[in-house]
Amino acid sequence: MWSAGCGGSAGPVLLGLLLALLVPGGGAVKTGAGLVTCGSVLKLLNTHHRVRLHSHDIKYGSGSGQQSVTGVEASDDANSYWRIRGGSEGGCPRGSPVRCGQAVRLTHVLTGKNLHTHHFPSPLSNNQEVSAFGEDGEGDDLDLWTVRCSGQHWEREAAVRFQHVGTSVFLSVTGEQYGSPIRGQHEVHGMSSANTHNTWKAMEGIFIKPSVEPSAGHDEL
């Protein structure tokens, strides 16, 4: 069985975070083209299945029993916001453009847990389970994902992949849908190969303006 936690109201928590990002001198913008930067809060859309990366205070009833991660079709769900952060040792100063090939943590805004994967089978497809793990943004070394993209930096209009540092799988969706209590939400899992099921694009969010002008780069991929 699935198990639900006792998290509080999402609205005030999210509003508080967004207000904190928008303090004078914070340099945050809501829309427009540009680069994804460290500290930004955003939603991620799987470009093939058209669902946004999502989590909530509901735990898997099998596998690790950790907080579940899914894909949702709704664009206005507050549980789909993630914050871009560096590893525990730093390396992702607020406002610095995220480089292609850089390892980052994706922290779920409303629960403070990090996007995570490990060697458990996913509930529906038997691929690798993806969960949300940790407390207040601190988990372990299985929370790191490498941003795979073309060029030098992660561009907001470009499709990217997220490859797990510890197990090499790609963050993916292949269309399987859950029943109750999260009926209609899509399974998110890790796959060993790069394909159309694991491309993502930055969507709605609050983006920190780049703290420095990035230099031009050449294609990596």
**What span, in angstroms and rounded, lies between the C-alpha atoms of 28 and 18?**
9
Buried b (16+ CB within 10 A) or exposed e, 159-198: bbbbbbbeeebbbbbbebebeeebeebbbbbbbeeeeebb
**What span, in angstroms and rounded, lies between the C-alpha atoms of 130 and 216?**
34
**What span, in angstroms and rounded, lies between the C-alpha atoms of 71 and 173?**
8
Q: 36-204, which class in CATH?
A: mainly beta
Measured CA angle at 29 (ends 27, 30), to 5 deg: 155
Percentage of residues of the chain with pLDDT beyond 70: 81
Asked if 196 and 220 touch (Cβ cutoff 8 Å), the reply is no
- What residue segments make up the domains of the chain, in order of their start? 36-204
* Model confidence at 96: pLDDT above 50: yes
Least confident of 9-23, 86-100, 117-131, 188-202: 9-23
pLDDT for res 215: 53
pLDDT for res 48: 98
pTM of the model: 0.86
From the list 54, 40, 77, 78, the residue with the least C-alpha distance to 131 is: 54
